[in-house]
Amino acid sequence: MTDADRTEYEHEKQHQHQREDQQGSGGERESARRPQPSAERARRTLAVPDLSLVVLIGATGSGKSTFAARHFKPTEVISSDFCRGLVSDDENDQSASRDAFDVLHFIAGKRLAAGRLTVVDATNVQSEARAQLVRLAREHDVLPVAIVLDVPEQVCAARNAERADRAGLPRRVIQRHQRELRRSLRHLEREGFRKVHILRGQEEVEAAEIVTERRFNDLRHLTGPFDIIGDIHGCRSELESLLGRLGYALERDALGRSVDAVHPEGRTAVFVGDLVDRGPDSPGVLRLVMGMTGAGHALCVPGNHENKLGRYLKGRNVQHTHGLAETIEQLEKEDDTFRAEVADFIRGLVSHYVLDGGGLVVCHAGLPEKYHGRTSGRVRSFALYGDTTGETDEFGLPVRYPWAEEYRGRAAVVYGHTPTPRVNWLNNTICLDTGCVFGGTMTALRWPERELVDVPAEKVWYEPAKPLATEAPGGTDGRPLDLDDVAGRRIVETRYMGRLAVKEENAAAALEVMSRFAIDPRLLPYLPPTMAPCATSKAETGGETAGEGYLEHPAEAFAAYRADGVREVVCEEKHMGSRAMVLVCRDEAAARERFGVPEGVSGALYTRTGRPFFDDPETTERILRRVRECAERAGLWGELETDWLLLDAELMPWSLKATGLLRKQYAAVGAASGAVFPGALGALEAAAARGVDVATLLDRQRDRASDAAAFTEAYRRYCWRVGAERPTGTDELAGIRLAPFQILAVQGRSLAGLAHTDQLAMIDRLIEAEADVVAGPGTAAAPAERDGGATALLAPTRRLVVDTGDEASVAAGIAWWLDLTADGGEGMVVKPLQALIRGADGRLIQPGIKCRGREYLRIIYGPEYTRPENLRRLRVRHLGHKRSLALREYALGLEALDRMADGEPLWRVHEAVFAVLALESEPVDPRL
């Protein structure tokens, strides 16, 4: 047994004795070995940790399988007989035992890795067999528990005789098992079993009752709120100041010493260890922390300095270095009672705690996810000291292994141990040791608020061996993302639609785009969802306003929301450009601080697939600068208490991004029709003049020529020259228009649920502010003109609120759309006014339904799509998959925003963003 295992073992024994004392019962092991009066034997309680490897030990026929079936779930029990049958079709085929136990160990290992209680039903009377199981428990950092069924030989023989498959079992086999069992009883603890329960005779076996115990580190039922306090190192005065800032009221004894601290709102303090050494008053810190934990107002995990002090107080030979000498000197001024209390306090500290439903882990030096809630010497050692690379730095100190860089756990890990001048979140971990004893600060984390509170050191109490590191282990430049985060089939948990699956082939397609074309993932916190089209308009309803001659009509969108119980909707003008996400920071310093990007970068402007909008970074920065200045002038930075904004917008003209599509597809059709139809019409008209009957054909070709001309006019509306394409001296932003319509997120919160009218009101202020920004101080701004040299960038979004239950309001909405599209507009998007809403059944409702204009759809479906025969064919549209895709992508986008607002690590945010891009590769009609 290693020193760490021995320490953990003693620690577990102490806690077990404390629990037994509280329950008023003696030690189970000793009571099992001495004769018991029949009244006491009437009920035997066997404590089994909820995560452990339970090893049943007993001769064949002792009743292990019956005992296991009575006290454990069928899925928790792994029988050697069953495994023997799996590999040989005969549970009694002893020649298959080696393979059977390989299977048993494999299954047990998988269960333990998954955190499941596991029971091994085998004779296990040989020390070699038990050693393999103890080793398996250690590999998975769980407690091995032995339950011995010591049943008389004649009972075992009688039971075997009753079984047809064992009726001929030789008596000597049972006798050998009994001899091996007797030799084992005194050595089970030495073999590594943390709990040993011995049941002697049938009566004790029958009277036994299994009680599952919560592990000492499992405090998931405690949900806080918590105030987690970093390394203290004897700085009592600073600790008292910090507790005061956190709202705790100190309680003092008759000598004026702090002995407790209580928060009026019932918050609980959690100390990450290293209470002692180096500082001026380690006894004072211990007295206060011990008082708070004893009163139930605080929790505490041990640090490596407490561990060393504890060994000193037990009389062990330890070096008086790293501040221990100062603590010993201070403790010598205290009485023996206090020193004994300190020794007991340190001995009872648990290596780490799992809190708040499993969402929070507190330890001293950090802890990988595989160790959370586990109990072993290895776990305790890591929690106390962390891990090292085996190297030493120029100061002769060990180089810490950057475990936090690779952390991918769901629980936030809060720790200390390695002093850093600045606190940083890294992959959902945070180090709170800010070197107070070295003249830095003492820091606390409010949970679940994730708010940091600190107080400065009163002085440099102890000179550090080396300068404080510039950042916590791993640092912000560690490996933020890993291929395993996104590769293969993925299941993403969302708060809005539960578990959403991403197919492996879709993930591969997204990986291609993300790795080759996308912007820096740190600047890619969100991708917008695809948008659901409205239901196909029904021609048979008759009348223009009811949808005759239209493929899409707003009456269908209003009816869909009315059916979902949504009364108020907002109709927003749909700009004919390209979807653009704008991440703009208040300045470059804010971008570096929040997103870890290099100098010269103040945000990002990217497409709906995560690609940069412009190849030229200067153009991007110029647009970001304009938005930043408008936000400043509009007062949004202060009002929203943020240093960055994430905007959903449309960037125009369409030709900015779709030049290739225009040239290769749309312009080619327009050019071909322009070249072909004049000659064809001329020939037909000449033939008609000669008396040839071509009237029907001529009319048809004239209609086709008219449709082709309408097609060319439709796409040309959305194309114009910008910036450098204009005359020399024109502003670089001339002609570029950005139409923001939603502020999705700001520092610390998602705004995706804010009502669209409130969103657009903020956008209006942003646009109004641009007039002053463009004009400059004391100058009247000129209006922006699409084809002129004006420098205005931001474009407004026209909107109309419609009551879906009011026929007049619906009619007004339809008329507004008709006017909008008659003037060349693309159409509109109909959205629930209150944004993020659910239906009566609790399911998400579509966040928006697009209703595109008749002429715009000519670009999508072709010049002649409005012909009756074509409309009849196109009305057979399968919208279900598209709508499902829109909702799934919407839920994933919301999840990404919430994760970012909660301060979760980049890989967690990126998981949801990547899933949106992956879903985009699902096969669906691109015209929808």
Q: What is the pLDDT of residues 142-165, one digit of tens each?
A: 999 999 999 998 999 888 888 877
pLDDT of res. 493 = 87
In angstroms, the first-to-last Cα distance of the chain is 67
**Residue range 501-510: mean pLDDT, rounded:** 88
Evaluate the omega torsion of the peptide bond into residue 448 and state whether it is cis, within 30 degrees of 0: yes
CA 137/CA 142 separation, integer angstroms = 5
Is the pLDDT confidence value at 16 over 60? no
Three-state SS at 2: coil
pLDDT of res. 411 = 93
**Residue range 868-875: mean pLDDT, rounded:** 78
From the list 624, 602, 594, the residue with the least C-alpha distance to 747 is 594
pLDDT of res. 815 = 93
**H/E element holding 47?**
strand 44-49
The predicted-structure confidence for 373-416, as pLDDT tens digits, reads as follows: 998 889 999 999 988 666 666 556 666 677 888 888 889 999 99
Cα–Cα–Cα angle for 322, 325, 327, rounded to 5 degrees: 95
For residues 831 and 847, is the Cβ–Cβ distance under 8 A?
yes
Task: Please give the C-alpha separations between residue 294 and each of 87, 260, 828, in angstroms, as whole numbers.
Answer: 55, 9, 64
pLDDT of res. 77 = 96
pLDDT of res. 282 = 96
pLDDT of res. 602 = 92
* HEC profile of 456-478: ECCCCCCCCCCCCCCCCCCCCCC
**Residue range 14-22: mean pLDDT, rounded:** 48
pLDDT of res. 24 = 38
**For a pLDDT cut of 70, what percent of the chain falls above it?**
87
Is the pLDDT confidence value at 193 over 70? yes
The predicted-structure confidence for 766-800, as pLDDT tens digits, reads as follows: 999 998 888 765 444 444 443 344 478 999 999 99
Q: Bigger pLDDT: 490 or 223?
A: 223
**What is the pTM for the complete model shown?**
0.67
The residue whose two tokens read 């997103």 is 595
Edge to edge, what strands does the sheet with 737-746 contain?
603-607, 578-585, 644-652, 737-746, 749-750
Is the pLDDT confidence value at 545 over 60? no
Ordered DSSP codes for 395-429: TSPEEEP-GGGG---SSEEEE-SS--SS--EETTE
Helix residue ranges, H only, 124-235: 127-139, 153-162, 171-184, 188-191, 201-207
CA 188/CA 139 separation, integer angstroms = 18
The predicted-structure confidence for 553-604, as pLDDT tens digits, reads as follows: 999 999 999 999 999 999 999 988 889 999 999 999 999 888 888 888 999 9
Three-state SS at 480: coil
pLDDT of res. 658 = 61
The predicted-structure confidence for 582-592, as pLDDT tens digits, reads as follows: 999 999 999 98
